Amino acid sequence: MASLKALKLRIGSVKSTQKITKAMKMVAAAKLRRAQDAAQSGRPYAERLTAVMETLASKVATSASGPLLLSGTGSDQKHLLVVATSERGLAGAFNTNIVRAARRLADELTAQGKTVHFHLAGKKGRVLKRFYPQDVTGDHDLSGVKKVAFTDAQGLAQDLIARYEAGEFDVAHLFYARFVSAIVQEPVGVQIIPVPLATARTAASSPTSADAVVAYEPDEEAMLAELLPRNVAVQLFRALQENAASEQGSRMNAMDNATRNAGDMINRLSIQYNRTRQAAITTELIEIIAGAEAV
């Protein structure tokens, strides 16, 4: 049985941990509101741009001289999985769920005979190096980023586009966590390179777009040269914003659970401490009474 001193030290240690987790919960709650507003404000623009690019991909005639970001390489043998995670831990299953979704697709593609590589955006995604040591070919450093800006996404987009044009991969998939609520964060995997064809979702949201006539001003090449790289950057920026909100929501829940668990542990240790103390007092009383009777 633990001594009274050891129990008292452990209770003090757990109380200190509880103060830390409670403070971290409050900090995450404060950051969550700003991150949530930023993520929700950027959704309409990103979703509309996605719909426009998907429609263009299904309408514009592709050719060997056309933009690769729109027409693709003509193959889907080499896949790049861009895994966006956080730089810090203590956020529950936030990072684990994103990595698990990426691994699931990687295993499916590998089973089909495809070549799979990973490009990481966020330190916590480096756990993939333990499972695919030879397949992690890129690591975008976001450690110095306190608040996600569009320039951060542009830097990552330029890196991906350069690798794509160099022929390092045929298809790029982006994995991140979509913010649903402070309790629910949904891991998402979407294709960002090349632009996918219009889906049923796009057609349903724009019922007249199928018959629309697309006119370019000043010309098709100049318009697509501007839109296509920007679309990649916008989708990456959206993922980073969604991740920022999801991370804070997941961390707030994780720290709330940790605070509650610490409280339960303090109660159990306090009961054990009181019982041990009472047992020691009872033993001393019995020894005193026994000694008195002996005299």
72-115 pLDDT per residue, tens: 788 889 999 999 998 888 888 899 999 999 999 999 999 999 99
Lowest mean pLDDT among 54-68, 206-220, 235-249: 206-220
Mean pLDDT for the stretch of residues 187-194: 89
Domain 44-251 CATH superfamily? ATP synthase, F1 complex, gamma subunit (3.40.1380.10)
The rounded distance, in Å, linking the Cα atoms of 35 and 241 is: 7
DSSP letters along 223-268, please? HHHHHHHHHHHHHHHHHHHHHHHHHHHHHHHHHHHHHHHHHHHHHH
Nearest of 22, 25, 36 to residue 251 by alpha carbon: 25
230-269 pLDDT per residue, tens: 889 999 999 999 999 999 999 999 999 999 999 999 999 9
Nearest of 48, 41, 49 to residue 228 by alpha carbon: 49
At 53, the pLDDT band (50, 70, 90 cuts) reads confident
Lowest mean pLDDT among 141-155, 160-174, 189-203, 238-252: 189-203
Where are the chain's structural domains?
44-251
Residues 80/118, Cβ–Cβ less than 8 Å:
yes
| Residue in this structure with the two tokens 């450093």, named with its chain if needed | 141
Lowest mean pLDDT among 98-112, 198-212, 241-255, 274-288: 198-212
97 contacts: CB under 8 Å, gap ≥ 6: 177, 185, 187
HSE (CB half, 13 Å, CA atoms) of 205? 14
Predicted TM-score (pTM) of the model is: 0.82
Strands 171-179 and 185-193: antiparallel
Distances from the Cα of 44 to the Cαs of 36, 69, 238, in angstroms? Answer: 14, 22, 10
289 contacts: CB under 8 Å, gap ≥ 6: none
The rounded distance, in Å, linking the Cα atoms of 159 and 132 is: 21
Q: Where are the beta strands (DSSP E) in the chain?
A: 78-84, 115-121, 136-140, 171-179, 185-193
